[in-house]
Structure 1
Amino acid sequence: MALATALLLPVGAAYAQNATDSADQTEEKKEETSSKTTTLQNVTVTGSRIAKDTFNSVSPVQFISREETTLAGFNSTAAVLQSNTVTGGSEQINNAFGGYVTDGGPGANTLSLRGLGPTRTLLLLNGRRVAPAGSRGSVGSADLNVLPNIMIDRIEILKDGASSIYGSDAVAGVVNVITKTKVDGASVEFQHNATQNGGGDETRWSIMMGKTGDNWRVSGSFEIYDRSELIVGDRGWASNCPLPLVGRGADGRYGADDYIDPVTGEPKCWGLDAGGVTINTLGTAYLLGRPGLGNLGYYGTYAPEMLEFLPPGFDYFNRWRPNASITDGDLPGFEGVDYFGRDSYDPRMKKESLISPTTNYTGFLQGGVDLNAMGDAELYFELLATRRESRQTGYLQHTIDYAANSPLLGAYSFLPAYMAAPADGSTNGQNVAARAFVGWGLYNNWQEVDFYRATAGLRGNLSSEWSYDTYFSHARSEADYFTENRLTDRYAKSLDVVSDGAGGFRCRDTSDGCVAAPMLTADVLAGNLPQAYKDYIMQVTHGNTVYTESTFNFGVNGPLFDLPYGTVSSALGVEYRRAEIDDTPDPNSAANNLYGFTASAPTRGKDSVSEAFAEVEIPVLSGLPGAEELTFNVSARYTDYDSYGDDTTWKLGMLYTPVSWLSLRASRGTSFRAPALFEQFLGATSGFIQSSNDPCINWASKTGNVRTNCGTLGLPNNFNQTQSVTVITKGGADANLAAETSNALTAGIILQPEFPEWFGDLSFAADYYDVEVKNGVSRLTGGQVLNLCYGSEPADFNAGTGYCNFVTRNANNSLSVITQYVNVSTDKVRGWDFTARYVRDIGQGEFRATAQVSHYLEQSGRVFPNDPVRDYAGTLNAPEFTGVLDLSYKLRNWRMRYGLDWVDGINGYEYYEKYFNTDYRDTYQMKTDDYFLHSASLQYTGDDWAITGGVRNIADKEPPRISVSGAVNMIGNAPLYSGVDYLGRTFFVNFTKDF
């Protein structure tokens, strides 16, 4: 993760070059800057559209070279961009999130700066937007998988709001990936990253070719990147069952109060926390039975007077586990279990994907030809095409609802109905007498995503001082996504059975090859389902997503007029963009025919925007005592969206260099983010939340409006919800969803002391940032809508107005909730970025050290305007500090490197104490130590070849361990967080050959 980076400092200390320079000129330009010459040709650095003859910038920009990423052992551009070096420790969506619902669909890798999310970070390729790509209806951000690798020259990272420069999405910052523009000859590259403990290996084959003529150039690359699957069972820390780790013992360790499973004598394993509640368990009405060994009894909503008739050794239960030794009670052959006694772990879970596999094919072609006309114009083009084939393996809990009086109840036909017929029709309208919670086993998702972007442009001179650049770009992402899903209609048919005349049962309707559901037995509860039954109800579903984006841009660049201390420069332009999404889920999904899975309606919508922008740089002072340089930069953009209307953003920046070794910079401006297409037009997507979200559970014990409102529904005082709550999510276009707005402030200091030559060169930069997003786009959860409705004034509740307009309680008391994307949230981040670099000749070689530290002073937010603002910096998955250290020494053909990644320890206790007045220090392990990753590499460079080898995560450091408390998503007892390493010790080798 750690790698060397360059600061953007005043002349003489930067590594950037004009995007039209060749890679061969890089070293020459470094020599020019180190000797402080002023013969540099004009350059354009990310964060400004004005080409200048210096590298000075009012905004902080970080540079990463391709050579540095090779030395660090990164095998893909996605991995580089998601490293702590770029992200400052903020969480990223990567291939460890394959089992979760994420924007862009499974397998997508996105980029988030400042922890503000991928939709608030703009990704550019050679200064032009990278369009979103991915699968399913929530495609809204660029997928890092589409980027090339061998063709990249450098990456520039602007960690500052820049909507006035680049338009929407540039709220948290901008990342510009810049390719080598002039290539002569051919290069091949091979890299393999192999984990010591198996799984998750990465292999990349690349070829780059190019030719430059007198008035033309063409170059391109093709690469195949393959990452193998890392399953949960490949890592002991992940495959060891997750433990609650509740209660701190006298030795300071957590787990003193963990439930001990009487079957194993070990702490209870909670393997289903990421999906499902239990397996090998039977749900019934409350019956009299014996508790399992170690169970305390599960007391529910039965009438208290029932307790008076409890025989010794018995209790009332509605959850049971097979136990052949129990022969009495209302349910012989079963022991009653409470919440802790339920089974939730299956050895097959070890075969789930920890890091999902993918194979990416990437082709890139670029070129240009001088026309010797239209102001020495160059006609240029770019073509990027990729294909991603990715897959994820997950684990399923399955439920079989046996209707009252169903012949499939077998020996348990006496069981009374205890649950109303599910609203999905899965029991053919029959009330349920028994629900079998069964471990189904593994299932698969896979995606095929094809992306291309074609760009054609013309750039030249309008005069001796003014230049122009105009281009048209069109991008298209098409994804086919497949999932093994159980179909509700087939599930229902399998339960509608008649005798087969041979002592068994068959489906009443066999027209589609229906296979009857198995009879209720202990073997079925144990997960031993007939394969024919599984093959019948589980089918492969197929959806298709197409996302297109077209951009036209025209800009001019040149001087306006002279001032006493320099020339006022400007950049002016217009831009038009049009985007469209068309997601067509499988017909079974659209028809709500997926059993236990989210159903989705088609997502279709389009939007377009017209913009005009201007930027002016004003040199106020130069070359004076106490004012080596004082420059102001002003930019503004007018934007008119079809979806929400028009807006204006602006930015004012300043760079002040009182003496050669000290510079101060600051900027203040506004940014905005237009709602993503999926946030506007997402088709109604149904899912489920737990029944415990019903506010009317035991309503008589509650107070205020909730008690009053629930009391009007005729529910019993001890009402208990037995069905999951259906949540339907849709886009916010019909709710007049508007753009987010934000304010951003940055201020920095750059120090470049002049030391004696023997000491070397030392530079230091510190940048403060403060970004606040107002009227942010947020999707309310189903639980939030329910609480807002039932907590409303009784008059509004009875009238069904306000949030109650989105809540329906059906005749059987099941709940359904509609949620939308709305403008309600507020997000704020404040912090410091520190960078130091030291360079010195030692012996016959050069030593270089770079250190970066990111410090979040605040990461806060709230959903509703009246909510308290809560700062979560320093809590789980939001470290206060992260840092990287890079040390290298180059001696003739050899270069050695050591890298260190640091993630600050987290402390979740202070957050709950401050905002909830709750002390969890003796309850949960919510504190971790500092996390360090070490890496090292060695490189040898020949005349036309180079080989690099090294080790990442030298100490084979495992992720930190915390309690399973529901605070964050987990893998085992490790938080699901991109800032830690799941692969373990990894060896890598890179070989490059030029021809």
Structure 2
Amino acid sequence: MTNYRVSKSGALRAALLTGAAAMLLTSVPAMAQSSQGASEGESLTEIVVVGSRLRRDQFNSPSPVQVINREESVLAGLVSTGDLLQSSGITSGSSQLNNAFGGFVTNGGPGANTVSLRGLGAGRTLVLINGRRVMPSGTRGSVGSTDLNTLPNAIVDHVEVLREGASSIYGSDAIAGVINIVTQKNVEGVTAEGQFTRPFDNGGEQARASIVGGTSGDRWQVAGSLEYYQQMNLTLADRDWTQCNLDYQRNPTTGASTDFIDPMTGQPKCYPVTGTGSNGVTINTLGTASIAGIGAPGSVSPGTSSTFNRWRPNSAITAGLPGFEGVGGGTNNINVRDTFDPRTLNRSLLSPVKTYNFFGQASYQLDEEGAAEAYAEFLYNRRESWQTGYRQLSLDYPHMSALVPTSLQGRGTAFGSLLHTGSGLRAFIGFGNDRSEQEIDFYKGTGGLRGDLTFVPNWRYDFNVSHANSEGSYKQQSFLTDKMSNSVNVVAAPAGFNSALVRPGANGGNVTCAVNITNPAENCIAAPILNSATIGGVLPKDWVNYVFRDVIGNTEYRENTATLNMDGPIFEMPAGTVQLALGAEYREAKIDDTPDPNSVAGNLLNLTTSAPTRGKDNVYELFGEVEVPLLKDLPLVEELTFTGSGRYTEYDSYGSDWTYKVGGNYRATKWFSIRSTYGTSFRAPALYEQFLGTTSGFQSSQNDPCNNWGAAGVNANVKANCAAEGLAPTYSATQSIQVNSGGGRAAGVEAETSKNFGLGAVFQPDLPEEFGEFSFAADYFDIQIDNSVSRIGYSEILTRCYTSAEFRNGAPLCRLVSAREAGTNRLIVSDSYTNIASSITSGLDYNIRYRTEVGEGDVTLNGQLTQFFKQKSKTFADQAWDEYNGTLNTPEYTLNADLTYRIDGFSFRYGLEWIASMDSYELLGLNPATDVRIAKVPSYDLHHFSAQYKAEDWGVTVGVRNAFDKQPPKISAGLTGAKATYNRIGNSPLYSGYDYNGRRVYMTVSKSF
């Protein structure tokens, strides 16, 4: 929380930024000193910094706080507050949800950007503006975290980061830490600023334009900012390393590639389909029953006769199946088929986004002494984001349809089609690109009254109420199952029927949809004839417009908050004044997500179904914090201070609980101090974790535990349980596994709890003036979360059910697996949110800062190294811990450093970001000596250079990020196991710690009036 009573001189900023003068800043020392721009006559009176609700005249919190100056983030070339908060200097290399995740199912929906501290998830990191909560926003049912796109940028003064639990200070969702964005105070005049970033390669440009203005009178002040930001489109085609996705597998002995060689090019195949994550799909192919034909190049019998069930059009083939060559079936490699369409490179590598942001603040002193002040803030943000995808269309024809040529009739097989019953022929068509869009309007208004409690000396109060609302719409394109089914159900067109709705038949005559005979108003358009053009993706526009539609959903999230804070001295002790803070808070939140009716009805072809998400929750809280100075100015005890805080919470959703935190700050000498904290935290289930509407998805049939259960080496319980279901030992599943997921309110999901311990030391020797200023801090952290709210995962559910001797007579997780579907033997698994998992994260933050004069200027070196000791978790209490520390996307070490030289109005900066090598062989159970997959990446480093000149009323910054154009490392496709699954972009891990933009230059220009 932040509350100031300071001079207008900037002494506050000077105190906050001591020990933190560059973008990648150190933890602020145990006691800050005024410097840089504070004259001798200026004094810092009172400050409240994140991690406490107490005002202090010195920065002596027992919790390490990192402070980032926005001006230095401009020098570093970070365009938005979101970029700053997702930088590895804040997150210690943990993976963040950013614009690279637009093509994946994520909380908050596509385009949302969130921040996660300590790798514990965005839902466990609390984001504040001026000490007050920023409500979650986004689209779809899983909205539960602050979208960084909503935050202002130009009017930000600095950002405070507390990376330890603080539920007793701030309430739920502060398990991993708190980020407080502090806006500028006492703004006078107008400042216009523009920033543009241009990669050396095409795509991915960023632009921002802003105006900040303010004025004041004797008893009032008003300020605000207006901003426009755009992240321009960056596609897979725009970067070399994403243009040819490979399996990327190597012979472990020789290092030679084992990737499939495309018989058409003689090179490793781009976008294959032989491994999970390769991203290729079968296109330009016909699926039939197994029949004899001539094999294509690369098949098991190229140019000769064999049996196939997948075919590629080839007019030169006259034997077997005339006009087609075999590309699948039996022992054929699936990659003989066409699997790459150049249009797949139009997919978004980084989601384009536009934001329009307004932030305003005002205050008015109700009396001349300033003992009471009314204030208000208002934030409005509009986000427009979109993503380009690629779609394969599996179009099923009844095998005796009039749309099927005579030569193919009677050659169908059962594909489990959604479009018709009985045998059919399937055209695997490269349909092309589709588009998803999101538009979100976010509002947050706050009004409050603060001042002195006249009846209690030196006590102050702050009462405020706020209302926030997020209204979002999300649109995607989808084939509608009913339209598709109607379009392949054709009959001969009756005489005089509307010719616009008639399609020529394959064997002469005209056809129309059968449904139109009884319902002409349906305006059904018959599917195209099954021929080589259709298989190749040449589709009639009228039919595409009929079956391929926009589907639109809407999401609304609301939150109302009322907060009262009071603090002041209670009595004197020999070592100083005992300070006390008391407060109360009420919050209510509501979510209402309404998917498109076609999604609710399961009418989206080969996509999940989604039910509405609707629910609300409210909470009442009382909290207190005390600071007790125990000793002072004694031998080896310059200062010894105790702090404690507690919070009582009562939620409608799960009941009441309380948390506490105790800490101490021991300063042995002026140059050495030790600080420590221990506390408990909790996180109430997010609304979506309670109320998420049931969503149905599908997993590969190959994950059915009973596939070929009679083979050697299969678990004995699995054999017995599969036999009990009446399945043959050679059973092969043909139906995908249906996985239903939803909220856990009905099942009694409860809050997760945690314990947080921190211990740190600060070393600040008083060096001779000619040697400069030096500070070093080392802080140990240990966070354990229990009863974490999560989903078990369908794989874990099936494994534990089928390996249990009790099976359906008592195995706990078998209640989540329905009896097999009659006729198809499909498995249906229920995987909703519940309290299951535990996790432990521990490590050390090392922070160093050195400043000295060099010539007429001064040099500042900052460095922050984070070393994780543990990053481990488990799903059930009887399981062993799974250690993720040092595995892919979970680095053991991260380093951020910068060196800045300032002289007169010039600043020159060099920045370094480094992530240690990572290895997932052991986690995935792979032997690197024998496995062809690559599950290890080398260390990764980025280098940045910039220069800045600032005059009294204007400034210019130029620089280059990723100066040496470092590309992300590569891993193999198909890295998946019970403990982890790794997605890729191109051949690289999907991981926010890697730079996907490449080398880029930037310029920022500002002018004040």
User: Common fold, TM-score beyond 0.5?
Assistant: yes
Give secondary structure in 2 for the equivalent of 1:589.
helix
Contact (CA 8 Å) 1:486, 1:594: kept in 2 or not? yes
Give secondary structure in 2 for the equivalent of 1:768.
strand
Q: Kindly tell me: are residues 603 and 12 of structure 1, through their superposed partners in 2, closer, same or farther at Cα, counting changes over 3 Å?
A: closer
Deviation of 1:932 (Å):
1.3
In structure 1, how many angstroms separate the alpha carbons of the residues matched to 2:955 and 2:575? 47
In structure 2, how many angstroms separate the alpha carbons of the residues matched to 1:99 and 1:384? 29
Q: Kindly tell me: are residues 317 and 244 of structure 1, through their superposed partners in 2, closer, same or farther at Cα, counting changes over 3 Å?
A: farther
Aligned to 2:8: none
Aligned to 1:816: 828
Aligned to 1:565: 575
TM (normalized to structure 2)? Answer: 0.91
User: Which amino acid letter does the alignment assign opposite residue 109 of structure 2?
Assistant: G
Give secondary structure in 1 for the equivalent of 2:116.
coil
Aligned to 2:553: 543
Aligned to 1:934: 943
In structure 2, how many angstroms separate the alpha carbons of the residues matched to 1:774 and 1:855? 23
Deviation of 1:3 (Å):
2.6
Aligned to 2:499: none
Aligned to 1:482: 475
2:904 paired with 1:892: yes
Contact (CA 8 Å) 1:271, 1:346: kept in 2 or not? no
User: Which amino acid letter does the alignment assign opposite residue 381 of structure 2?
Assistant: T
User: Which amino acid letter does the alignment assign opposite residue 468 of structure 1?
Assistant: Y
User: Which amino acid letter does the alignment assign opposite residue 267 of structure 1?
Assistant: P
In structure 2, how many angstroms separate the alpha carbons of the residues matched to 1:789 and 1:920? 33
Aligned to 2:173: 169
Aligned to 2:142: 138
User: Which amino acid letter does the alignment assign opposite residue 162 of structure 1?
Assistant: A
Deviation of 1:436 (Å):
2.3
Give secondary structure in 1 for the equivalent of 2:268.
coil
Aligned to 2:864: 852
Give secondary structure in 1 for the equivalent of 2:173.
coil
2:509 paired with 1:503: yes
Give secondary structure in 1 for the equivalent of 2:710.
helix
Deviations, residues 722-747 of structure 1 (Å, cap 9, x unaligned): 22222221110111001111111111
Q: Kindly tell me: are residues 264 and 505 of structure 1, through their superposed partners in 2, closer, same or farther at Cα, counting changes over 3 Å?
A: farther
In structure 2, how many angstroms separate the alpha carbons of the residues matched to 1:961 and 1:763? 38
Aligned to 1:284: 288
2:647 paired with 1:656: no
2:434 paired with 1:434: no
Q: CA RMSD in A?
A: 2.4
Deviation of 1:809 (Å):
2.3
Contact (CA 8 Å) 2:401, 2:409: kept in 1 or not? no
Contact (CA 8 Å) 1:285, 1:417: kept in 2 or not? yes
Give secondary structure in 1 for the equivalent of 2:641.
strand
Give secondary structure in 1 for the equivalent of 2:841.
strand
Deviation of 1:279 (Å):
2.1
Contact (CA 8 Å) 1:284, 1:415: kept in 2 or not? no
Contact (CA 8 Å) 1:667, 1:745: kept in 2 or not? yes
Q: Kindly tell me: are residues 190 and 594 of structure 1, through their superposed partners in 2, closer, same or farther at Cα, counting changes over 3 Å?
A: same
Aligned to 1:970: 984
In structure 1, how many angstroms separate the alpha carbons of the residues matched to 2:929 and 2:213? 60
Deviation of 1:340 (Å):
3.6
2:102 paired with 1:98: yes
User: Which amino acid letter does the alignment assign opposite residue 27 of structure 2?
Assistant: L
Aligned to 1:717: 729
In structure 2, how many angstroms separate the alpha carbons of the residues matched to 1:675 and 1:316? 55
In structure 1, how many angstroms separate the alpha carbons of the residues matched to 2:931 and 2:412? 43
Alignment gaps of 5+ in structure 1: 16-26, 299-311
In structure 2, how many angstroms separate the alpha carbons of the residues matched to 1:804 and 1:927? 36
Deviations, residues 84-123 of structure 1 (Å, cap 9, x unaligned): 1111100011111110010000111001011111001100
Aligned to 2:501: none
User: Which amino acid letter does the alignment assign opposite residue 826 of structure 1?
Assistant: S
Give secondary structure in 2 for the equivalent of 1:596.
coil
Give secondary structure in 1 for the equivalent of 2:815.
helix
Deviation of 1:798 (Å):
9.4
Deviation of 1:622 (Å):
1.0
Instruction: Note the 1:414-493 alignment, pairs <5 A.
Output: 414-416=409-411, 418-419=413-414, 421-422=416-417, 426-428=418-420, 430-462=421-453, 463-493=456-486
Deviation of 1:314 (Å):
5.7
Deviations, residues 618-657 of structure 1 (Å, cap 9, x unaligned): 1111111101111111111111110011111111111111
2:986 paired with 1:988: no
TM (normalized to structure 1)? Answer: 0.92
Contact (CA 8 Å) 2:69, 2:157: kept in 1 or not? yes
Query: Aligned pair count?
Result: 956
Deviation of 1:516 (Å):
1.9
Give secondary structure in 1 for the equivalent of 2:749.
coil
Aligned to 2:199: 195
Deviation of 1:717 (Å):
2.9
Of the three residues 350, 353, 361, the one matched with 2:348 is 353
Of the three residues 111, 122, 131, the one matched with 1:127 is 131
Aligned to 1:10: 30
Aligned to 1:405: 400
Contact (CA 8 Å) 2:837, 2:876: kept in 1 or not? yes
Q: Kindly tell me: are residues 646 and 761 of structure 1, through their superposed partners in 2, closer, same or farther at Cα, counting changes over 3 Å?
A: same
Give secondary structure in 2 for the equivalent of 1:270.
coil
In structure 1, how many angstroms separate the alpha carbons of the residues matched to 2:279 and 2:679? 43
Deviations, residues 269-294 of structure 1 (Å, cap 9, x unaligned): 22664767422333333444555433
My pick for the range that moved more, 676-685 or 862-871, is 862-871
In structure 1, how many angstroms separate the alpha carbons of the residues matched to 2:617 and 2:307? 58
2:261 paired with 1:260: yes
Deviation of 1:819 (Å):
1.6
In structure 2, how many angstroms separate the alpha carbons of the residues matched to 1:355 and 1:621? 55
Contact (CA 8 Å) 1:216, 1:368: kept in 2 or not? yes
Aligned to 1:533: 543
User: Which amino acid letter does the alignment assign opposite residue 540 of structure 2?
Assistant: P
Give secondary structure in 2 for the equivalent of 1:733.
coil
Contact (CA 8 Å) 1:321, 1:334: kept in 2 or not? yes
Deviations, residues 770-812 of structure 1 (Å, cap 9, x unaligned): 1111111111323333333333335625999843554552422
Instruction: Note the 1:320-339 alignment, pairs <5 A.
Output: 320-324=311-315, 326-329=317-320, 333-337=324-328, 338-339=333-334
2:686 paired with 1:676: yes
User: Which amino acid letter does the alignment assign opposite residue 505 of structure 1?
Assistant: V
Deviation of 1:874 (Å):
1.2
User: Which amino acid letter does the alignment assign opposite residue 707 of structure 2?
Assistant: I
In structure 1, how many angstroms separate the alpha carbons of the residues matched to 2:762 and 2:811? 62
In structure 1, how many angstroms separate the alpha carbons of the residues matched to 2:896 and 2:914? 6
In structure 2, how many angstroms separate the alpha carbons of the residues matched to 1:547 and 1:57? 35
Q: Kindly tell me: are residues 291 and 871 of structure 1, through their superposed partners in 2, closer, same or farther at Cα, counting changes over 3 Å?
A: farther
Of the three residues 342, 355, 372, the one matched with 1:377 is 372
User: Which amino acid letter does the alignment assign opposite residue 1007 of structure 2?
Assistant: K
2:964 paired with 1:955: yes
Alignment gaps of 5+ in structure 2: 1-20, 494-503, 976-980
In structure 1, how many angstroms separate the alpha carbons of the residues matched to 2:832 and 2:661? 32
2:707 paired with 1:689: no
Instruction: Note the 1:694-713 alignment, pairs <5 A.
Output: 694-701=704-711, 702-713=714-725
Q: Kindly tell me: are residues 930 and 602 of structure 1, through their superposed partners in 2, closer, same or farther at Cα, counting changes over 3 Å?
A: same
2:509 paired with 1:517: no
Contact (CA 8 Å) 2:563, 2:584: kept in 1 or not? yes
User: Which amino acid letter does the alignment assign opposite residue 3 of structure 1?
Assistant: M
Identity among equivalent positions (%) equals 45
Of the three residues 82, 86, 98, the one matched with 2:86 is 82
Of the three residues 596, 605, 623, the one matched with 1:613 is 623
User: Which amino acid letter does the alignment assign opposite residue 563 of structure 2?
Assistant: N
2:611 paired with 1:597: no
User: Which amino acid letter does the alignment assign opposite residue 961 of structure 2?
Assistant: R
Deviation of 1:503 (Å):
3.4
2:797 paired with 1:785: yes
Q: Kindly tell me: are residues 347 and 797 of structure 1, through their superposed partners in 2, closer, same or farther at Cα, counting changes over 3 Å?
A: farther
Contact (CA 8 Å) 1:2, 1:884: kept in 2 or not? no
Deviation of 1:684 (Å):
1.0
User: Which amino acid letter does the alignment assign opposite residue 134 of structure 2?
Assistant: V
User: Which amino acid letter does the alignment assign opposite residue 196 of structure 1?
Assistant: F
Give secondary structure in 1 for the equivalent of 2:919.
coil
Contact (CA 8 Å) 1:393, 1:443: kept in 2 or not? yes
In structure 2, how many angstroms separate the alpha carbons of the residues matched to 1:783 and 1:746? 36
